[in-house]
């Protein structure tokens, strides 16, 4: 397998607004990140990915970019960022930016120019069409806000927005737009940034003629822009820029197929991206999205993880994650709040020891959980409000019923401020926090976790450091065992003559876990576990709730 630095690193993901506030305005900022750089480094990670930190009107908290070459003044200045970059590099940590180029903010000056009409040189930077009579150009629906077209009466045309109204889609078919994207990439790479996470990059090419889509209430038309006709070409163009630098790119692909990911990430001259963010394993308790819940299915989680592990091996590379700013907290989903510490550790080992680059989202390392919000006005996110309208209008949900669902499904669960201590406002801010703080901060916080040798935090450190420089964990081949087991996840990693056996209980009651044929547990070294590794009998052990055992064989 081709060795690369980006395969060997672990990455910490920061959603700055909720990370740490340094100036008391209640909003996390770069000063806050700077003050925690040593903490981040102490986890053993090798890089930081920042969700967008550019100027933005916050219609989608930064995923609506108003200026690609500056820093959101709520977070600091470009100079602050340069200092942070420098300090991160001094600590041997790389820095990755979010490249959001499927759309901009409607407050980006390109869009303001574009609205002036067809004669304006920026008009074709966006996707404008005339309506059909008094109807929009086609039946597409946005992902965040009703119809996908917004009418601008001054020029009697509609613009396309796959997400919120304030996020007009760029017209990537316009070569000038692609040149702009490449310039933006160079701007950050020349400054010293080490790569990008490319937002919904699989949506950037839309089908010729923008045909009507299969009528569904959300994302209608998606079949005409998910891996559109020119996606490969455009990614190749962007790759040429990446190839001029020693950097890496991870592409986000909602509803991405494994086939496409293998094609885009396979080593060789046609490689477009280094890895991709798949969503398959994030639907083990939902049908396509968290908003259509179903009971957690371990079999679904396992089969999706194994599918990606097997298909990518020797070809591309996996991006490993269980949490980010788009999903509720994983302990509340796939683990158990009752067995928070145990399940938090088990989940960490389960994914970090797979083949790929692990990403750890802020707060995940201390086992933060979902929040309970009991008033619709306390939510902040455009997608929660969209779902509110949909569930109320189409399914006649009461507020109470919706709140129950939102508390389980909303991505805002991951956007509550990080708990640094048991002090007021969890030590996140001295001011009024921009978003509600989870009430459990007094017991779940970094300060407490630092003091407790058995904390989830120390377990993450152990795992990340165990993976570092360890060929077996980084490059070893993956194989799953006992696939039909509904309560245990068992897999091995093999490299040369070494083997690692990872056995995870997903049960809240004791259960027997047996080693696969060919393994003798007595001969292995138990190197990681979240309990005391009590007795083995007949090559099996009685796993306690959410127990994980990792055995090493030479």
DSSP code of residue 438: P
Shortest CB 35 distance to ligand NOJ, Å? 25
Which of 50, 63, 359, 391: binder of ligand NOJ (CB under 6 A)? 63
Q: d(Cα 473, Cα 493) in Å, to the nearest integer?
A: 7
**Which pair of structure tokens corresponds to residue 477?**
């081949």
187, 69 contact by CB (below 8 A): yes
Determine which one of 194, 199, 280, 342 is catalytic.
199
The residue among 330 and 449 lying less far from ligand NOJ, judged by its C-beta, is 330
Shortest CB 64 distance to ligand NOJ, Å? 8
Q: d(Cα 532, Cα 146) in Å, to the nearest integer?
A: 53
**Which pair of structure tokens corresponds to residue 191?**
């400054």
Spatial CB neighbours of 154, under 8 Å, sequence gap ≥ 6: 115, 117
Shortest CB 394 distance to ligand NOJ, Å? 22
The residue among 365 and 381 lying less far from ligand NOJ, judged by its C-beta, is 381
Which of 21, 60, 274, 480: binder of ligand NOJ (CB under 6 A)? 60
Spatial CB neighbours of 405, under 8 Å, sequence gap ≥ 6: 291, 293, 387, 391, 397
393 class by beta-carbon count within 10 Å (0-12 exposed, 13-18 middle, 19+ buried): exposed
The residue among 161 and 272 lying less far from ligand NOJ, judged by its C-beta, is 161
Tell which positions 245-304 bind ligand NOJ, by CB under 6 A.
Answer: 252
Shortest CB 65 distance to ligand NOJ, Å? 9
Shortest CB 384 distance to ligand NOJ, Å? 11
Q: d(Cα 206, Cα 234) in Å, to the nearest integer?
A: 12
Determine which one of 29, 252, 323, 492 is catalytic.
252
The residue among 166 and 419 lying less far from ligand NOJ, judged by its C-beta, is 166
Per rule CB under 6 A, count of chain residues that contact ligand NOJ: 9
The reply to whether 234 sits near ligand NOJ by the rule CB under 6 A is no
The reply to whether 199 sits near ligand NOJ by the rule CB under 6 A is yes
- Single out the residue of 417, 416, 418, 395 nearest to residue 405, CA to CA: 395
- Single out the residue of 534, 526, 531 nearest to residue 551, CA to CA: 526
Residue 199 annotated as catalytic: yes
The residue among 60 and 106 lying less far from ligand NOJ, judged by its C-beta, is 60
The residue among 149 and 459 lying less far from ligand NOJ, judged by its C-beta, is 149
The reply to whether 163 sits near ligand NOJ by the rule CB under 6 A is yes
- Single out the residue of 111, 117, 211, 119 nearest to residue 169, CA to CA: 111
Tell which positions 311-350 bind ligand NOJ, by CB under 6 A.
Answer: 325-326
Shortest CB 415 distance to ligand NOJ, Å? 10
Q: Which residue is nearest to ligand NOJ (CB)?
A: 63
Shortest CB 87 distance to ligand NOJ, Å? 26
The residue among 199 and 492 lying less far from ligand NOJ, judged by its C-beta, is 199
Which of 65, 200, 219, 273: binder of ligand NOJ (CB under 6 A)? 200
Shortest CB 467 distance to ligand NOJ, Å? 25
Instruction: Calculate the alpha carbon distances from 14 to 17, 74, 281, 295, 390 in Å.
Output: 9, 15, 21, 29, 30
Shortest CB 236 distance to ligand NOJ, Å? 22
The residue among 200 and 464 lying less far from ligand NOJ, judged by its C-beta, is 200
Residue 326 annotated as catalytic: no
DSSP code of residue 389: H
Partner residues linked to 195 by β-bridges: 248
510-546 burial, b for 16+ CB within 10 Å, e for fewer?
A: ebebbbeeebebeebeeebbbbeeeebeeeebebbbb
- Single out the residue of 9, 97, 2 nearest to residue 360, CA to CA: 9
The reply to whether 160 sits near ligand NOJ by the rule CB under 6 A is no
438, 416 contact by CB (below 8 A): yes
Which of 45, 84, 100, 148: binder of ligand NOJ (CB under 6 A)? 100
The reply to whether 242 sits near ligand NOJ by the rule CB under 6 A is no
412, 386 contact by CB (below 8 A): no
Tell which positions 132-151 bind ligand NOJ, by CB under 6 A.
Answer: none
The residue among 255 and 536 lying less far from ligand NOJ, judged by its C-beta, is 255
Shortest CB 63 distance to ligand NOJ, Å? 3
Dihedral in degrees, nearest 10, Cα atoms 202, 203, 204, 208: 120
Shortest CB 253 distance to ligand NOJ, Å? 10
Using DSSP, state whether 383 is helix, strand or coil.
helix
The residue among 168 and 417 lying less far from ligand NOJ, judged by its C-beta, is 168
DSSP secondary structure letters along 148-202? SEEEEGGGTEEEE-SS-TTSPBB-TTSHHHHHHHHHHHHHHHHHT--EEEETTGG
450-473 burial, b for 16+ CB within 10 Å, e for fewer?
A: eeeeebbbbbbbbbbebbeebebb
The residue among 64 and 80 lying less far from ligand NOJ, judged by its C-beta, is 64
262 class by beta-carbon count within 10 Å (0-12 exposed, 13-18 middle, 19+ buried): middle
The residues annotated as belonging to the active site are: 199, 252
Residues that bind ligand NOJ (CB under 6 A): 60, 63, 100, 163, 199-200, 252, 325-326
């Amino acid at each position: 397998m081709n060795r690369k630095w980006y395969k060997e690193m672990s990455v910490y993901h920061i959603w700055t607004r909720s990370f740490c506030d340094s100036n008391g305005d209640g909003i996390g900022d770069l000063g806050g990140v700077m003050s925690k750089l040593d903490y981040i480094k102490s986890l053993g990670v090798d890089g930081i990915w920042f969700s967008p930190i550019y100027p933005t009107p916050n219609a989608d908290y930064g995923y609506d970019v108003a200026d690609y070459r500056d820093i959101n003044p709520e977070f600091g200045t470009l100079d602050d960022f340069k200092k942070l970059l420098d300090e991160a590099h001094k600590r041997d940590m790389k820095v990755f930016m979010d490249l959001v180029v499927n759309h901009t903010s409607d407050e980006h000056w390109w869009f303001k120019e574009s609205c002036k009409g067809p004669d304006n040189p920026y008009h074709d930077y966006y996707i404008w069409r005339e309506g059909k009579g008094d109807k929009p150009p086609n039946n597409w629906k946005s992902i965040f806000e009703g119809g996908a077209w917004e009418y601008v009466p001054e020029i009697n045309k509609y613009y396309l927005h796959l997400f919120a109204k304030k996020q007009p889609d760029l017209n990537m078919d316009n070569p000038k737009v692609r040149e702009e994207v490449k310039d933006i990439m160079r701007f950050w790479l020349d400054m010293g940034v080490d790569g990008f996470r490319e937002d919904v990059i699989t949506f950037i090419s839309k089908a010729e003629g923008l045909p009507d889509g299969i009528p569904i209430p959300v994302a209608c038309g998606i079949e005409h822009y998910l891996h559109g006709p020119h996606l490969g070409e455009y990614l190749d163009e962007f790759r040429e820029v990446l190839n001029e630098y020693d950097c890496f790119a991870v592409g986000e692909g909602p509803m991405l197929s494994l086939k496409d990911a293998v094609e885009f990430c396979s080593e060789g001259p046609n490689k477009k991206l280094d890895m991709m963010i798949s969503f398959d394993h994030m639907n083990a308790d939902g049908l396509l999205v968290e908003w259509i819940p179903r009971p957690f299915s371990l079999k679904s989680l396992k089969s999706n993880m194994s599918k990606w592990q097997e298909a990518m091996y020797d070809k591309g590379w996996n991006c490993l994650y269980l949490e980010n700013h788009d999903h509720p907290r994983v302990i509340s989903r796939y683990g158990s709040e009752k067995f928070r510490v145990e399940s938090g550790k088990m989940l960490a080992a389960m994914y970090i020891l797979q083949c790929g680059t692990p990403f750890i989202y802020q707060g995940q390392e201390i086992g933060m959980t979902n929040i309970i919000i009991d008033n619709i006005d306390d939510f902040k996110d455009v997608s929660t409000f969209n779902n509110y309208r949909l569930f109320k209008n189409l399914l006649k949900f009461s507020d109470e019923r919706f709140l129950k669902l939102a508390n389980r499904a909303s991505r805002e669960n991951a956007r509550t401020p990080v708990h640094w201590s048991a002090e007021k406002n969890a030590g996140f801010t001295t001011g009024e926090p921009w978003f509600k703080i989870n009430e459990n901060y007094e017991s779940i916080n970094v300060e407490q976790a630092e003091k407790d040798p058995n904390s989830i935090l120390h377990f993450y450190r152990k795992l990340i450091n165990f993976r570092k420089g360890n060929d077996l964990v980084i490059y070893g081949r993956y194989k799953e065992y006992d696939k039909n087991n509904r309560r245990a996840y068992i897999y091995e990693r093999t490299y040369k003559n070494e083997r690692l056996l990872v056995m995870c209980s997903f049960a809240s009651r004791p259960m027997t876990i047996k080693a696969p044929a060919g393994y003798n547990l007595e001969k292995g070294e138990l190197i990681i576990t979240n309990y005391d590794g009590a007795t083995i009998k007949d090559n099996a052990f009685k796993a306690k709730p959410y127990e994980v055992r990792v055995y090493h064989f030479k």
